[in-house]
Chain A
Amino acid sequence: MDSSLIKDLQRILGRENLAWGETERLCYGYDATVAADIVLPEAVAFPQTADQVAQILRLANRVPFFVIPRGAGSGLTGGARPVCGGLVLSTERMNRILAIDSECLQAVVEPGVVTEKLQLEVEKLGLFYAPDPQSRAVCTIGGNLAENAGGPRAVKYGVTRTHVLAAEAVLPQGELVRLGARTVKSVAGYDLLSLLIGSEGTLGVFTQATLRLLPLPRSRRTILAAFYSLEDCTRAVAAVLQAGVLPSALEFMDRAAVNCVEDYQPSGLPREAEAVLLVEVDGSDAQTAEDAALAKAVLEKHGARNLQQADDARSSEALWKARRAAGPALARIAPIKFNEDIVVPINRLPEAVLGIHRIAEKYATRCAIFGHAGDGNLHVNFLSPADNAQKLADVERAVDEMFDLVISLEGSITGEHGVGTTKAKYLPREIGLPVLELMRRIKQTLDPLGILNPGKIFPVAQGD
């Protein structure tokens, strides 16, 4: 970026809200994606108002230069990483909770608000913001909207989209628009809000969101169940829902994941079990007591052993701690393909889990699976030493076959992490070329110069 462009950006942002030194550029080239190559941005902007964001995008179209929106940089598919220079637009400084409306059960927030911070604030008022991505202590609402983030509670409460009533966003050419309405219902025209949510920062930058809140559930109970057959365990998932229990979380860990957790942080999980399920129910005290009893009966009928139940926050936390340790425990042993994120209809879970284990066996790679089984979303980790080229190629092939399997089971190659750069090459396989072309046309219409978050979602053409 030349000095006149830097001056223009400084005029928009104020001197202190633009950084272009090497130190800052080195710190805004990465996110939480496991990837070897880091491409540095040319500068980093820290806007504080929607108007500044709009001015930056108008300038970007005039000059032109690329703009890469970034929340907390906790994404796992490279969504916030520059791939060809440009300006990283960080929403870190737009971090105010503007209103919490207890009457209408709504919150109005800026994009840089950390998800957990919002949750803690609304809980003080007896309210509840349900979406709970595992990175909620770090990730921001803007990033959650851009990625349409999920989390364990999605099985009952749905993903981020379900909880966004309205949003303000700057479109790629710099128009500031408001989408949606402050009501639960609204069918006025195309649902453009849904188009922008989950567009991974390629169609707009969120500058404000009106979020739907719920009454805070009064009671929670958690059950840990061990299974000695993978098939029994995965069948039990659909059975719990069929029996009329809608859990607020239904989590799965296979034997390899359990053992990784126990090696990392002994939590009393049964190492010899083939898999475990963690079932949480929430609601009124009477409701959760009834649901927990029903869920336990169903789990036992499907072969669960050693059931443990936690009826208060402290003992429940102990059970959850083990589940939450799965990610870090696996990251520690440095797998090369960390945390793939697939999703299948829940009645296909047995085929998916057994199939993935077979693929791992075929390529002689270790594999650990955990995830949000209640909504069919699994995180698959092929564990392999990073220094072995042959193994690396094998893991690539295993991932490839896994995606074929998932698609054949009518599932999806990403449940909550997004496509970003790391899954772009697999996207056409799932959605087909006509739909991919439709998406390209939408992108082309809104962003003719391809300014906003280039290199994401769409596969790079062969030979590029």
Chain B
Amino acid sequence: MDSIREELLRCVRCGTCLSVCPVYQQLQREWAVARGRVALLQAGEKGQATLDRHLRPVMTSCLLCGKCRSACPNQVDTPFLVKTARAHLTAGGEGGANALRRLMRSFLPRRNFSAWVKLARALRPLWAASIPEESGLYLRLMRASGEKIRLPRLAPSFLDESPLPRAPAKIGEAKKLVAVFPGCIERYVRPGATLSQIELLAKAGYTVYVPENLSCCGLAAWSAGEPELARKLFLQNLNQLLAPGSAWPEHIVFNCSSCAYMFRHGGELFADLPQALAGQIAEVGRRSCTLDELLVQLGQAAPAASESSKPRIAWHRPCHLEADVRRPVEILSSLPGACFVELETSGDCCGGGGIFSFLYPGLSQRIGARKKQEALEKKIDYLVTECSGCMIQLEKLFSDSGVVVLALSQAVEKFRTTE
């Protein structure tokens, strides 16, 4: 708790976060911005307020986008504080009152993920439909709005059903060995993103493999206030990727910035660690990278002139992308098969925020509205991003328009040549 207290004290109430918080800019209430959330947690810490039901919307209505942390003069890690507060809320939640916990129980893997997915597939017709307004889940989740939840449609064939490159038998001899980590969305909703990623990395001369027995990265669990589950998933993956006694991949490559974020920051979940494990965690973080970080070395052609006949592509920067933010732009603008268009709103949060968009669908769409408007005005054909959470949100946002959402890997694969 001391580290939490110190983190809280670092906030000097300057209010810089007000200028960057997507949620505050919609709601314009202090409790919906880092400064207010920190003030409330401070009050709770001093015993002036209790982490009761009034604080629940305060803590659930954060996108965890981290824009406040980047803008903060003192780098107060409000997303971390919010995640911690959520853990307290879920731990203290009673009976049916806890929307977050229920959400977690409904959507996230507990022990046997593939069994869960098989069930989901059997129920696919139901799953793909909107949850009826009468359902208890709906009522618990939708406090204020009258909107329906739309869930992503599952892929006809899952990633694990495709032939995947597995770890080479003589792993020590493989040149430029990289492991690809497919997130849950890639595995069950968008396997094509991972298949393109494997293809691109192989073409770039890497020895690619997809490790077996990987779990969900755990970020959703952490965000939803289930740190225990998040730790478990994180360590499971850690042991698969950096198994003691075997050679380790040079890089662990992600299609999804949020999964990569989890691998780089998972260590924050642990208060005290044995030295060996701490070293392993640092190592997995160091080796983790998003696809763009390796692709930039491909040495693409010079930027294409803006020819009106080519498809118009634009970039959405995920909040969790930590690499050089210009790299994806450089990659996309060098693709000969498309015409790259800069968006002013490229770095604005899409409003997804993982479970945020399920808890607050209306608010989440309003946050993304400016981006949608600009993309439509600029007649974008393909919106490219590098985060599966963003992709789900962007697809919802653009569902009534002709804009197609692509993973970076898919866009590079599609437009690397002029057709």
Could you list which residues of chain A lie within 8 angstroms of chain B, going by C-beta atoms?
A: 19, 21-24, 26-28, 30-34, 46, 72-74, 92-93, 95, 114, 116, 135, 137-139, 325, 327-329, 331-332, 338
A93 in contact with B28 given A72-B18, A327-B73 (CB within 8 Å): yes
Which of A26, A32, A135, A329 counts the most B-chain CB atoms under 10 A from its CB?
A26
Q: Does B212 contact A (CB under 8 A)?
A: no
Which residues in window 35-51 of B have CB below 8 A to A? 36, 39-40, 43, 48-49
| Residue pair B15, A135 in contact (C-beta under 8 Å) | yes
Among the interface residues B10, B18, B31, B40, which one has the most CB atoms of the partner chain A within 10 A? B18
Indicate if the CB atoms of A26 and B19 lie closer than 8 Å: no
Give the bracket for the number of chain B residues in contact with chain A.
20 to 34
CB within 8 Å for A328 and B73 given contacts A22-B54, A23-B49: yes
**A-binding residues in B (CB < 8 A):** 10, 12-16, 18-19, 28-31, 36, 39-40, 43, 48-49, 54-55, 58, 73-74
Contact with A27, one of B10, B12, B19, B29 (Cβ below 8 angstroms): B29
Q: Is the CB of B48 within 8 A of A26?
A: yes
Chain A residues in 8 Å Cβ range of B10: 332
* A328, B31: Cα distance in complex, Å: 23
- For B14, give its contact among A23, A27, A74 (CB under 8 Å): A74
User: Do A332 and B29 touch across chains, with their CB atoms under 8 A apart?
Assistant: no
Contact of B15 among A19, A23, A32, A95 (CB under 8 A): A32
A92-B28, A114-B19, A138-B19 are known contacts. Are A27 and B73 too (CB-CB below 8 A)? Answer: no
Q: Which of B16, B19, B31 contacts A24 (CB 8 A)?
A: B31
Please give the distance in Å from A31's CB to the nearest CB on chain B. 7
Chain A to chain B contacts (Cβ below 8 Å), 23 pairs: A19-B29, A23-B40, A23-B49, A23-B54, A23-B55, A24-B31, A27-B29, A27-B30, A27-B36, A27-B39, A28-B30, A32-B12, A33-B13, A34-B12, A114-B19, A116-B19, A135-B14, A135-B15, A135-B16, A139-B15, A331-B12, A331-B73, A338-B12
Closest to B17 in A: A138
- Given the complex, which residues of B lie within 8 Å of A24, measured CB to CB? 29-31
Contact partners of B28 in chain A: CB under 8 A: 46, 92-93, 95
Cα separation A420 to B378 with both chains bound (whole Å): 48
Task: Give CA–CA (A90, B43) in the complex, Å.
Answer: 21
Expressed in whole angstroms, the Cα–Cα distance for A332 and B73 within the complex equals 8
Report the minimal beta-carbon distance from A177 to chain B, rounded to whole angstroms: 27
- Once the chains are docked, how many angstroms separate the CA of A72 from the CA of B33? 12
8 closest Cβ contacts across the A-B interface?
A: A328-B73, A27-B30, A137-B19, A27-B36, A138-B15, A74-B15, A92-B28, A23-B54
- Interchain CA distance A236-B36 in the complex, whole Å: 43
Q: Please name all residues of chain A whose beta carbon is closer than 8 Å to the beta carbon of B36 when the two chains form the complex.
A: 27
B37 — nearest CB in chain A belongs to which residue? A27
Beta-carbon nearest neighbor of A74 in chain B: B15
Question: B47 → chain A, closest Cβ, in Å?
Answer: 13
- B15 to chain A: which residues have CB within 8 Å? 31-32, 72-74, 135, 138-139
Please state if B16 and A31 are interface contacts (CB–CB under 8 Å).
no
A73 to B17, CA, bound (A): 12
Least CB distance, A26 to chain B, in whole angstroms: 5
Residue of B whose beta carbon sits closest to that of A95: B28
When distances are taken between beta carbons in the complex, the residues of chain B under 8 Å from A137 are: 16, 19
Whether A331 pairs with B30 at a CB distance below 8 angstroms is no
